[in-house]
């Protein structure tokens, strides 16, 4: 049975990037994450790559976790020069220290310069790298499931701390790596932390329809975004996934430096295409209108907003755009849930191995 494609619109979801060039310690990151939380955003992202100047993104968001209470925390973690076993353990641990607020933005390292930092593999074509990224995400999900939720039993009578029938080898064999398992980290609070993929490129899109909980798309109009979302949902359904469990957010670079002035003439109300992706330049009120219009048209489940000037634009975004959307009843004013999955309306996944309980093989 093919599940029906998700149509109509659910709640609006909003996320923002908190990347700041030249920020190496905790304070500037905490400030922006708290700002995002004040706006009740679903999550904040922090990009990363080995070619980037800046601290390890996952470490920064782990540092932020105790300093925030509800906002989702989504670092980029790359899959090309890293160990899949370490990656999944670190993401699971971010979920533990944040009490279920972790996500993982998957990316690859495609340049020769990055390959030279490791000296182990040459740079490879994107197609192969994204195929590997898909395998890493697959292996990660299996490792997150390798402990059933109730594996720890602390049974004094039999002296057993765990029920080892509820710990599972994953025996994952990929093209470029293999992992035995189980994970060293018990199943994280969300079961599986939220996997986020920028589905703009073709190879990344294939990976996203298989493995992403949240796909990011770049579109210059609601029609374009809606088509991208429909295509992702259709492809996910063909692969046997429930499209209702795949959120599609439009990635939008925002420059709110224009204050209250109207969107730049020539916009036609839509964003401008740039090398960094579609750019919105104008005031926070018009941005709220754009978000509301795209969402009302059923084009996207929400937006991932990337401020040009992080401190300035995020402040205007939260106090202007978000406040207005909240005032219109289009966006939450508080977090009814505790985990990132709850913010996104995604179910906590069943454990793939628990489903086999009772199977003697």
> Site residues (CB under 8 A) for other proteins?
22, 24-26, 50-56, 58-60, 62-67, 81-86, 89-90, 92-94, 96-99, 113-114, 116-120, 147, 151-152, 154, 156, 158-164, 167, 176-182, 184-186
Cβ at position 280, least distance to other proteins in Å: 30
Cβ at position 307, least distance to other proteins in Å: 22
- Judged by CB, which is closer to other proteins: 99, or 348? 99
Cβ at position 360, least distance to other proteins in Å: 16
- Judged by CB, which is closer to other proteins: 151, or 215? 151
Cβ at position 240, least distance to other proteins in Å: 29
Cβ at position 16, least distance to other proteins in Å: 21
Query: Which of these, 71, 75, 66, lies nearest to 45 by C-alpha position?
Result: 75
Cβ at position 70, least distance to other proteins in Å: 15
- Kindly tell me the burial class for residue 112, based on how many C-beta atoms sit within 10 Å of its own C-beta (0-12, 13-18, 19 or more): exposed
| Contact indicator for 10, 331 with CB cutoff of 8 Å | no
> Which residue(s) pair with 215 in the sheet?
197, 248
- Judged by CB, which is closer to other proteins: 171, or 242? 171
- Judged by CB, which is closer to other proteins: 31, or 301? 31
* Token output for 321: 């755009």
- Per residue, the 3-state secondary structure of the chain, as one string, reads CCCCCCCCCCCCEEEEECCCCCCCCHHHHHHHHHHHHHCCCCEEEECCCCCCCCCCHHHHHHHHHHHCCCCEEEEEEECCCCCHHHHHHHHHHHHHHCCCCEEEEEECCCCHHHHHHHCCCCCCCHHHHHHHHHHHHHHHHHHHHCECCCCEEEECCCCEEECHHHECCCCEECCCCEECCCCCCCCCCCCCCEEEEECCCHHHHHHHHHHCCEEEECCCCHHHHHHHHHHHHHHHHHCCCCHHHCEEEEEEEEECCCCCCCCCCCCCCCCECCCCCCEEECCHHHHHHHHHHHHHCCCCCEEEEEECCHHHHHHHHHHHHHHHHHHCCCCCCCCCCCCHHHHHCCCCCCCCCHHHCCCCC
- Judged by CB, which is closer to other proteins: 103, or 320? 103
- Judged by CB, which is closer to other proteins: 75, or 283? 75
Cβ at position 143, least distance to other proteins in Å: 9
- Judged by CB, which is closer to other proteins: 1, or 156? 156
- Judged by CB, which is closer to other proteins: 22, or 265? 22
- Judged by CB, which is closer to other proteins: 50, or 335? 50
Cβ at position 184, least distance to other proteins in Å: 5
Cβ at position 208, least distance to other proteins in Å: 24
- Judged by CB, which is closer to other proteins: 52, or 312? 52
In angstroms, rounded to a whole number, what is the distance separating the alpha carbons of residues 164 and 183?
A: 13
In angstroms, rounded to a whole number, what is the distance separating the alpha carbons of residues 51 and 260?
A: 37
Cβ at position 182, least distance to other proteins in Å: 6
């Amino acid at each position: 049975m093919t599940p029906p494609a998700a149509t109509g619109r659910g709640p609006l979801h909003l996320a923002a990037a908190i990347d700041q060039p030249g920020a190496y310690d905790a304070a500037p990151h905490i400030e922006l994450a708290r700002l995002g939380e004040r706006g009740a955003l679903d999550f904040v992202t922090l990009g990363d790559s080995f070619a980037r100047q800046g601290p390890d993104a996952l470490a920064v968001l782990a540092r932020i976790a105790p300093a925030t209470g509800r906002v989702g925390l989504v670092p980029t973690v790359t899959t090309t020069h890293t160990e899949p076993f370490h990656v999944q353990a670190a993401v699971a641990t971010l979920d533990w220290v944040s009490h279920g607020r972790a996500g993982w933005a998957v990316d690859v390292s495609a340049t020769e310069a990055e390959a030279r930092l490791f000296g182990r593999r040459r740079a490879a074509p994107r197609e192969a790298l994204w195929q590997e990224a898909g395998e890493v995400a697959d292996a990660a999900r299996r490792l997150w499931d390798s402990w059933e939720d109730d594996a720890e039993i602390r049974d004094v009578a039999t002296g057993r701390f765990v029920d080892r029938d509820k710990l599972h080898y994953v025996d994952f064999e990929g093209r470029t790596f293999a992992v035995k398992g189980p994970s060293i980290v018990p199943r994280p609070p969300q079961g599986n932390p939220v996997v986020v993929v920028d589905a703009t490129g073709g190879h990344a899109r294939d990976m996203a329809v298989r493995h992403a909980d949240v796909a990011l798309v770049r579109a210059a109009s609601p029609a374009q975004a809606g088509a991208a979302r429909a295509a992702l949902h259709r492809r996910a359904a063909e692969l046997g996934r429930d499209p209702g469990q795949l959120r599609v957010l439009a990635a939008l670079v925002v420059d709110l430096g224009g204050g209250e002035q109207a969107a730049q003439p020539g916009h036609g109300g839509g964003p401008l295409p740039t090398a960094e992706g579609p750019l919105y330049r104008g005031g926070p009120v018009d941005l709220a209108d754009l978000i509301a219009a795209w969402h009302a048209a059923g084009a996207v489940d929400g937006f991932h907003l990337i401020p040009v000037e992080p401190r300035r634009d995020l402040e205007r975004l939260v106090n202007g755009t978000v406040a207005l959307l909240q005032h219109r009843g289009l966006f939450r004013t508080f977090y009814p849930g505790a985990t990132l999955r709850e913010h996104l309306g995604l179910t906590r996944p069943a454990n793939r191995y628990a489903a086999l309980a009772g199977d003697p093989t």
